[in-house]
Structure 1
């Protein structure tokens, strides 16, 4: 058993309102105005909102017709994903000037391990500041950053001083930081889990820390194991430069709500076709088929089935999705259906962690 695990210097860079900011960058007349990317039309759903729009409560995944009620001056703009991808590549080139250990999470955020970096700079905080300055000067956008000893804490920290700011949680600050943190701000604890924790008297990290491992596993299943360790500052996931794809999916939002499974079969056929194309393009197969159902009241339901073998054939995917559709009665009319394939043949078995303890050295330049 190891007495000490290495302390890493991790930066989480998160672009500020990325899609909306790119639209404002390319269209200066939109600067300072409340805009929403996507969301136009009768059934539109917003992909991103500028900070000017967020002040009114407009946010991503919100229906456009609701957003316009909150912000009558809201301006809807179309997506330009090729442009977002182009800008994202420019930003990543800046990251690679500092380290090859870059793990993109999406077009607008990434983890960087700068423990050993190309600049020979011992301060992760200064590196983060320099990266953010370069993004602004070379790309014209602002970014926020979180800096700490692991990915989990860096991710939380990056949200603290948004927009256009950064926060460092030094090694000696990790435990007090986590103990004082509101439970809803823990990355990975969603609204439903937070409500369940509130009911059990867990409101802060300190409250969570006082619960035993057995208690957390009994009440929160496998996630209880994760919660027990992350509140103690233990999260040993490394920055992975080549992230392994965990799933492939496709979905459709309908112009009119569908109320019968019969009307959904044709839609599922098209969705299964799209999933099959993506599987073929990525040259992967999977075992677990998941059907995603979003109802007209925006509640979400998923139904999954794991097969004993890898599949990538459209007919098998479609038939499995149909079985899941008919598995139980629908709760309401349906506005969206999606199919995903996970448990892919690209996944590696997780490495066993031989030690769950961590020794934090207090004198460490961050």
Structure 2
């Protein structure tokens, strides 16, 4: 029976979520993962603002500790900007092999509870525990057990969100970070969403949020008041998604066989490159990373993309597709070099090079592990 005084909008949304059996979804997100691993392994870094990746003069921050975040430092921020915000920021070189090892430990903990695990990156994943391996009735209890085991096994903290769909579970995991757990029940879903700024919605980036704001849509409630036709007219194929999640509805399943659409690697150099031979040399470890993923996952792509960022921060990409999937590292190298040669002569220095492979076809089942988002 519906609670007396419950808003009509909540009743309507609850009725829609009642149309299908409720699933039990957990979203687990490690807290400042890369930076926390570094602080765990180096006691001198504990309690201090740490940035993984970049340097004091160049590059981009890959991860920031919570101490650094308090100064406004965040991932994907240019190192020079991060240092300006936090003069005492400590830059640490990333150790991706260590992060992958820890990630695999975490994945093994997930696998004790369910086989339906959808990794999003090294440090976060969705789990469907509707039918779990331990026969536990409470998804909240499972989330608590997972967080406890992660702390005992790795010495790190994780935040978790529990709800009846993926959209709300992800919102919930952010709600009490770090080291928190939050549950959004079916009765809470619509009312929880209506108070949020649209910029907090997973799937709504800064550009889309700004567009929504210009249309007078600032909160989940504003979004729910729009018709499906209006949202489709302004946001195209994303319109139905926004229409549904504004009502706390998300029918996407947790996909254990989730296939990534591309894999890539890039490097920002300590000094600008001007010679073609130096660029070729610096692309070699990038080719290695891309092909290592392809070998491990069995994925074979047919489009190679070269990414070039110049000294003045101008960014360009050049792509080439082939009729059959790329079958060797040598082919990635040959295509990338051809794309690079087409840019000669270089009228300005190059500060970043990257290579990605897309249009995947899987020749063999992907390995059951969390992989690195290169």
So what's the TM-score if we normalise by structure 1? Answer: 0.80
Q: 3-state DSSP class of the match of 1:154?
A: helix
Match of 2:148, SS state, is helix
CA deviations on 1:161-205 (whole Å, 9 max, x unpaired) are 111112111011111112222100001111111111111111111
In the TM superposition, what whole-angstrom CA distance separates every residue of 1:204-234 from its partner, at most 9, and x where no partner exists? 1122222222322222222223222222333
State the match for 1:336 in structure 2: 352
Q: For 1:321 and 1:177, locate their aligned partners in 2 and report how far apart those are by CA, in whole Å.
A: 51
Unaligned runs of 5+ in 2: 1-17, 364-374
Is the contact made by 2:27 and 2:173 (CA closer than 8 Å) also made in structure 1?
yes
Gapped runs of 5+ residues in structure 1? 348-366
CA 102–334 in structure 1, closer or farther in 2 if over 3 Å, else same: same
Moved more, 157-166 or 307-316: 307-316
Q: How many corresponding residue pairs?
A: 344
Alignment-derived partner of residue 126 in structure 2: 111
Query: What is the match of residue 350 of structure 1?
Result: none
Which of 45, 52, 55 is the equivalent residue of 1:37? 52
Change (3 A) 1:234 1:310: farther
Q: Does 1:192 align with 2:222?
A: no
Contact 2:287 2:333 in 1 (8 A): no
CA shift for structure 1 position 295:
5.4
Which residue is 2:225 aligned to? 210
Asked if residue 49 in structure 1 is aligned to residue 38 in structure 2, the reply is no
Contact 1:183-1:205 at 8 Å conserved across structures: yes
Bigger mean CA deviation after superposition, 296-305 or 45-54 = 296-305
Deviation at 1:326, TM superposition (A): 6.9
**Structure 1 residues 265 and 299: CA distance shift in structure 2, 3 A:** closer
Task: Look up the SS of the partner of 1:214 in the other structure.
Answer: helix
| Aligned match for 1:284, one of 265, 275, 299 | 299
The two structures have a TM-score, normalised by structure 2, of 0.79
Shift of 1:320: 8.0
Structure 2 residue matching 1:61: 3-state secondary structure: coil
From the superposition, tell whether residues 278 and 127 of structure 1 become closer, same or farther in structure 2 (CA, over 3 Å): closer
